[in-house]
Structure 1
Amino acid sequence: MKSPIKTALAVVTALAALAPAVGASYAKVQPDDTSSSVSTGPAADYPVVIGEPYVIDGVTYTPIDTMNYDQVGYVTEDAPGAPGITGAHRILPLPSYVEVTSLDSGRTILVRLERRGPMTGDGLVALSAPALAQLGVVAGAPIRMRRVNPPEDHRADLRAGNEAPLRMNTPAGLLEVLRRRLPEQGAAPLGDPRQAIISGKEPTDSIVTAIDPTSEAVMTSERTEPADVEPAAVAAPMTPGAELAEEGEGAAEPAQPSSPPTAEGGYVVQLGAFAIRANAEKLAREVDGSIATSGRFSLVRVGPFTSRGQVEQALAKLRARGYSDALIHSLD
């Protein structure tokens, strides 16, 4: 009969002999076992699917990865059971994120596009029932939809099936302009059509120059300006820090870009960030704005404004003149 010590040694020896085989077996299954792994951060939105062209009701749709997507149209309801604040779109990458605005109320929400559609009709986007409820509309309502790059915490909210914080309401003046651009059916683009050549990739300096948003080529009917706004009025100069004047005769000559706004005002309207300073200076002259520097970019701004009401009026009028990417920034 073996002593207890010898028996224990025999067990240890047997386990040591099995260890390489157990380790090898675990190494094989570990990469494929993702049941307990949850992607977080930007990696959770990958892989991004674009896909090949396809046909719906005789119309060919070609998916494209572009950040410069901004259209007005009509919303439809997604298939029953579609989860969370999500939607279906025909050409934008999956997933991607868009701001959807009700052109009746100005209410704006963030939506995660996860599916292809609508598969019938000519709606601009199909939203899940929870998304329609958050937006406060029903199928057939007029909307604006623009692709955005939201912060990670808002992306995480939508991935978890929750609502992201509401975006800033669209001012009444801008809603009126957007409604004028709304077609009787289907959808219509709002931005510069030449932006599509960027296709979502970081543009080179030569491309930035080629699609300068202040060039005369952009200030045409292709940009779907309101019918009652003359093309020359698009570049009408503005006085920073005061209520923007309506277009009219006797406008002053564009001035040189002013110095960056001081902290006396609480808000500015930012129209763009340019890698080429000459392009920024041209736009600043057009709007009688100023230039601030952030790294290698020149930021074109109008303001400062002392109240939220003033800056929202300025934003509405700038967007009405064709600067659809203008945003409000706080100087605090």
Structure 2
Amino acid sequence: MQEKFSSRLLNRIPRLLTGVVAFGLGVSATATSAAPADVPADPPRDLNKAPNDGKIRKATSKKPWYQTGIASWYGSEFQGKPTANGESFDMHSLTCAHRTLPLGSWARITNLKTKKSIFVRVNDRGPLLEDRIVDLSYAAARKLGIAGLGKVRIDPVNGSNPDQVRALVAQTASVQPLLFASR
């Protein structure tokens, strides 16, 4: 039995030596390489995580910001799947996916062809296609009259603008009965 143990140990020595040499070379190479110039003090935050606490968040820019471009929509194929902020996607809610607007914030979307406007909550990241600026939920696209693609303007909601806040509250209070009736 001792012979078997000794022979197994002898068979492992070359592998052990190879591992020790490789480790030693790695340590010496690391010790001589230059340290990175800028090392962040804190670990990076996950910017796609935002609480959905029902608060209206302000856009942080001092200048009025807006964006115009092509909107598309997504619906049943994503129904119930998680969005970037962790909630389940509901195609019957007035929500959108945007690349940079803060998750949980609100934006006014205007169909530039029909001039219809609605408020949507940003709860996802996207769109994935470069020529689009926003992906709307099915309900948002339907309310705007967008059947496929549409040219829109996006204006972030500024919580200090009382007219925007009143319009947002009025829309939110009236939209749920309409959506449930149309299902």
Higher RCO (C-alpha under 8 Å, 6+ residues apart): 2
TM-score (norm 2): 0.48
TM-score (norm 1): 0.28
